[in-house]
Amino acid sequence: MRRLLVLALLALLALPAAALDRNALTFTRYDLRLTLDPHQHSLAAEGAVELRNDSRIAQREAVLQLSSSLRWLAILAEGSQVEWLSQDYTSDIDHTGALSEAIVKFEQPLAPGASIRLNIRYSGAIQKDTTRLERIGTPAAIARRSDWDQIGDNFTALRGVGFVVWYPVSIDAANLAQGNELFEALRNWRERERTSVLHIQLSRLAPPEGDEPSSAFITNGSESKSADQLTTEFRDVDPVIVLLNDPAQTTDRPRVLAYYSAAHTNFARDYMAAAETVIPPLEEWFGTPGSKVVLVELTDPEALPYDAGPFYFVPMRAVPHAAAEVALARPVVHSMLESSRPWIREGLAGFAQALIRERQSGRRAAVAYLGQFSHALSLAELQSHAPAADAASSQPPAIGLQPLITTSDEMFFRTKAAYVWWMLRDILGDRPLQAALAQYRATDDRDSAYMQRLIEKQLTPRRDLETFFDDWVYRDRGLPQLRVESAYVRQTLGQQTVTAITIENLGDAWCEVPVAIRSRGGESSVRVIVPAHGKGIIRIPFESTPSEAEVNDGSIPESERRDNISPVTVSPVKSPPITEPPTPRPSTAPVVPGPLH
Instruction: Categorize the per-residue pLDDT at 211 as very low, low, confident or very high, splitting at 50, 70 and 90.
Output: low
Say how far apart CA 177 and CA 393 lie, in whole Å.
13
The Cα–Cα gap between 95 and 485 comes to 50
Each residue's pLDDT tens digit, 474-514: 999 999 999 999 999 998 877 789 999 999 999 999 999 99
One-letter identity of residue 332: V
Question: Crossing angle for the helix pair 265-286 and 430-439, nearest 10 degrees?
Answer: 100
Q: Is the pLDDT of residue 577 over 80?
A: no
In this prediction, residue 338 carries a pLDDT of 94
pLDDT of residue 234: 92
378 three-state secondary structure: helix
400: left (phi over 0), alpha (psi -120 to 50) or beta: left
Q: How confident is the model at residue 331 (pLDDT cuts 50, 70, 90)?
A: very high
Write down the pLDDT at residue 565.
95
Q: What is the pLDDT of residue 374?
A: 95
pLDDT, residue 432, reads 97
Please name the residue ranges forming H helices in 231-318. 265-286
Ramachandran area for residue 533 (φ above 0: left; ψ -120 to 50: alpha; else beta): left
Q: For residues 576-590, give the mean pLDDT.
A: 42
* Whole-number Cα distances in Å, 425 to 120, 340, 412, 512: 52, 22, 19, 11
* CATH 2.60.40.10-classified regions of the chain: 482-570
Please name the residue ranges forming H helices in 338-456: 342-361, 363-370, 374-384, 410, 417-428, 430-439, 450-456
The pLDDT value recorded for residue 7 is 43
The CATH code of the domain at 482-570 is 2.60.40.10
- Answer whether residue 224 shows pLDDT above 80: no
Average pLDDT score, the chain: 89
Per-residue confidence at 80, pLDDT binned at 50, 70, 90? confident
pLDDT of the residue at 389: 54
Q: Which amino acid is at 93?
A: I
Whole-angstrom distance, CA of residue 325 vs CA of residue 270: 10
- Give the pLDDT confidence score for residue 205 in this predicted structure: 87
Neighbours of 168 (CB within 10 A): 25
Average the pLDDT over 354-372 and give the result: 97
Rg (CA), the chain: 32
Name the least confident of 106-120, 218-232, 332-346, 523-537: 218-232
Decide if pLDDT at 585 tops 60.
Answer: no
CA separation for the pair 364, 486 (Å, rounded): 25
User: What is the predicted pLDDT for the residue at 2?
Assistant: 42
Decide if domain 2-132+159-210 falls under CATH 2.60.40.
Answer: yes
Provide the edge-to-edge strand list for the sheet that holds 98-110.
59-67, 98-110, 83-90
Instruction: Identify which has the larger pLDDT, 454 or 398.
Output: 454
Query: Residue 563 pLDDT > 80, yes or no?
Result: yes
What's the rounded Cα separation, in Å, for the pair 400 and 191? 20
Q: What percent of the chain shows pLDDT beyond 70? A: 89
pLDDT tier at 226 (50, 70, 90 boundaries)?
Answer: low
pLDDT of residue 16: 45
The more confidently predicted of residues 171 and 237 is 171
Task: Say which residue, 19 or 464, is predicted with more confidence.
Answer: 464
pLDDT of 9? 47
**What's residue 395's pLDDT?**
62
Please say whether the beta carbons of 515 and 555 come within 8 A.
Answer: no
Which pLDDT belongs to residue 238? 85
